[in-house]
Amino acid sequence: MSFISVGIDHEHAPLDLLERATVVELEWGRVLAALLANKNINEAVFVSTCLRTEVYATIELFHGAVDEIVATLAVATGVSSDELQPHLTIHFDRGVPNHLFQVAAGLKSVVPGEHEVLGQLRRALERADEEHAVGPNLAELFRRSLSTGRRVRSETAIARGSTSFAQATVHMAENELGDSLIGARAVIVGAGQLASGVLRSLRDSKFALGEIIIVNRTLERAEELASGVDDSRVSVTALENIGAAVQGARLIVTAIEATDTVLREHHFEEKTTEVLIMDLAMPRVVDVSVDDLPGVERRDISHLGVIVNKTLADRHTLVDEALGIVEQEVEKFHHDMRSRGAAAIVMELRDHLEMLREKEVERRLADLSDLSEEQRERVVSLTRSLVAKIAHAPTLALKDASGTDRGQRLSEATRNLFDL
């Protein structure tokens, strides 16, 4: 059994490709089923966010598994294998926890240390579990990645300042709009985790907004989000009313999962003020044609680089500290996995020897027929003692070497010698 991860991310693929390769959560179950239908894939977790679309799996054969994963991604996303290939990042065995733990720590994010990625990874694991696609090995890898992410944020200052898309987005809006936000209308399209973060950041903005409207398909979800902040400036409306909501808005932030655009040129024909649109959705849900309208400025995830550069300027030491924690946790994960393997093989060896002992005693019972019950029990006790002594030395060697390369070699040798 080996770990592998295959996918594309914002560090190695252009935004338009990431956009086309994003798979909405409703389709994750179908992707997981398709992955497990391949002969080389044993377990799988599928992650698809605005920054990455990746498959994590336990596999049999490396090259066969890579081909199967890429083919599955091509079908799921509608992006051909030939187009995906040049932008793929592939990690194998030890490289997988190192990569995933860095992702969970926010070290692979546009905004270093951002916390939203933890929720995304947790949901990916939960969905894989719901679809019975994940087993003990991959589940443990993801649980340890989440633990590592929490540790990095608690033991370093990597998460200070703008630590999420939501905060970075509002920070950018404040920088661009300044005092014009005071008393103005802001519109948030969506009511999920990202929209929640945007709402809280806008509520606490140093430029006091006059009105915040949440627009969402499901009105109940928008109302639940609004009630959570308990602010009289916040109101909700259904997605079909988005045209009326954006009229007079100074700021619009889209944070909704949709397969089609929700804002187009005609929505701004009667606008009464200049407007800044921050499109955080992936795929993007604001038609790029609005860029040609006077008084309309559109930004998307690619523009967050401005905030990132400022954030990174004083965080190189913090990134190094976070990487140190990741390295520690990766080492501990590998040690624990090897130790768990040693414990398992010790148990298999003892069970195997005990089975041989029982079969041999049973086969020779006729030869012991002239012995008394007490004498036969002594013979059985003697055989148990002999088996324990035979197993003692290999048991000690396997346990002492657990978590090392030598332990791995001893485990393989034990399996071969005793046909386990």
Q: E-strand spans in 280-318?
A: 296-300
H/E/C letters for each residue in 171-207? HHHHHHHHHHHCCCEEEEECCCHHHHHHHHHHHCCCC
**What residue type is 225 in one-letter code?**
L
Coil, strand or helix at 260: coil
CA–CA–CA angle 249, 251, 253 (5° rounding): 120
Contact 47, 121 (CB under 8 A): yes
CA distance between the termini of the chain: 16
Listed residue (91, 87, 86, 107) closest to 6, CA to CA: 91
For residue 234, what is the enclosing H or E element?
A: strand 234-238
Reply yes or no on whether 136 is catalytic: no
Listed residue (215, 194, 221, 259) closest to 24, CA to CA: 259
Listed residue (358, 354, 349, 355) closest to 394, CA to CA: 349
User: Out of 23, 31, 32, 50, which one is annotated catalytic?
Assistant: 50
Coil, strand or helix at 249: strand
Angstrom distance (rounded) from CA 245 to CA 239: 9
Bridge pairing between strands 234-238 and 211-216: parallel
Annotated catalytic residues are 50
